[in-house]
Amino acid sequence: MRIIIFLCLLFFLNDISGQPPAHNLKITPLTGEFYVFTTFNLYKDKLFPANGMYLVTDDGVVMFDTPWDTTQFQPLLDSIKTRHNKNVILCLATHFHEDRTGGLQYYAQKGIKTYTTRQTDELSKRRNMKRAEFLIDKDTVFKAGQYTFQTYFPGPGHAPDNIIIWFEKEKVLYGGCLIKSADDRDLGNLSDANVKEYAITLEKVKAKCRKPKYIIPGHGNWINTSSLEHSLQMAQQLRAKN
């Protein structure tokens, strides 16, 4: 009887907390008002993590990429509201793959402004992926509350349309799937990759984003900031083989 009561209490506490089960959605503080959210999906028959990021500003919350797990679109919004008492006002996806764009339509229906580049939108339309409400035609500076950030398209790499997000003042580089974790042993999914240009593209990121203090890859560990250099080395090795 005590076990049943304990389980009921545990379920109740989880329900009122606004937090989904830990194995479905993980939110980790990065620095200041930056947070990394991680969801999971199957890749090569294994459960694989995907990272997104959000930033809490005076005007509301800005989200970079959407959850890979479609069941976590709303729980992420609920978790953000519970933690910060703020709503998400903008969501920007960094390329057309499902682990970045999957929630765009859902969030647009919630009144959140969703953005991609025009190139991403063209690929999303062609591949029947979710599309954003608003499009950007070139590298763009956004201002949200007290923060300013820039989108930057350095060239093709992981995908033809991959962009990065750079916070110059805070030295936060959100690399998306263009940048791999320092723990990775290869460049991952290359189905839409440009093997010849990948290393050149990463060199441009290095030149643009000087001395980043934090680098968030699309998948895996972000603690080690050698991820950009590590990704570049793997891209150079891959180019030499082809």
pLDDT at 196: 97
pLDDT at 150: 98
Q: Residue 237 and residue 231: Cα distance in Å, rounded?
A: 10
pLDDT bin (cut points 50, 70, 90) of residue 235 is: very high
Query: Is 155 part of any domain?
Result: yes
- Map residue 190 onto helix, strand or coil: coil
- pLDDT, position 44: 81
As a whole number, mean pLDDT of residues 104-120 equals 98
Please, which residues bridge with residue 48 across strands? Answer: 41
What tokens does 180 get?
């791999």
Question: What average pLDDT is seen over the chain?
Answer: 92
Q: What is the pLDDT of residue 23?
A: 66
Rounded Cα distance between 178 and 192, Å, is 11
Is the pLDDT at 115 greater than 90, yes or no? yes
d(CA 65, CA 36): 11
Q: Which of 106, 115, 119 is nearest to 154 (CA)?
A: 119
- β-strand 46-57 against 60-64: which pairing, if any? antiparallel
Query: What is the DSSP code string of 60-106?
Result: EEEEES--SSGGGHHHHHHHHHHHHS--EEEEE-SSSSHHHHTTHHH
- Confirm whether 21 is domain-assigned: no
Look up the CATH number of the domain holding residue 109: 3.60.15.10
Decide if 22 is inside a domain: no
In a domain, 193, yes or no: yes
Token match 């010849």: residue?
196
1 Cβ contact partners less than 8 Å away, ≥ 6 residues apart: none
Q: How far apart are CA 95 and CA 16, in angstroms?
A: 35
Structural domain range at position 172:
27-241
In angstroms, how far is the first alpha carbon of the chain from the final one? 65
Our count of domains for the chain comes to 1
Q: Is residue 75 part of a domain?
A: yes
Average pLDDT over residues 115-133: 98
Model pLDDT, residue 21 = 42
> What mean pLDDT do residues 11-27 have?
54
Q: Is residue 10 part of a domain?
A: no
**pLDDT number for residue 124:** 98
pLDDT digits (tens, 9 = 90+) for 23-61: 699 999 999 999 999 999 988 888 999 999 999 999 999
Is residue 12 one of the residues assigned to a domain? no
What tokens does 87 get? 């709503």
The confidence score (pLDDT) of residue 6 equals 36
For strands 147-152 and 46-57, give the pairing: unpaired
Residues for the chain: how many in total? 242
Q: Is residue 9 part of a domain?
A: no
pLDDT tens-digit map of 191-212: 999 999 999 999 999 999 999 9
User: What is 1-21 written as a DSSP string?
Assistant: -HHHHHHHHHHHHHHHHTPPP
Looking at per-residue pLDDT, the higher value among 21 and 70 belongs to 70
pLDDT digits (tens, 9 = 90+) for 166-179: 999 999 999 999 99
pLDDT number for residue 59:
98
Residue 36 DSSP one-character state: E
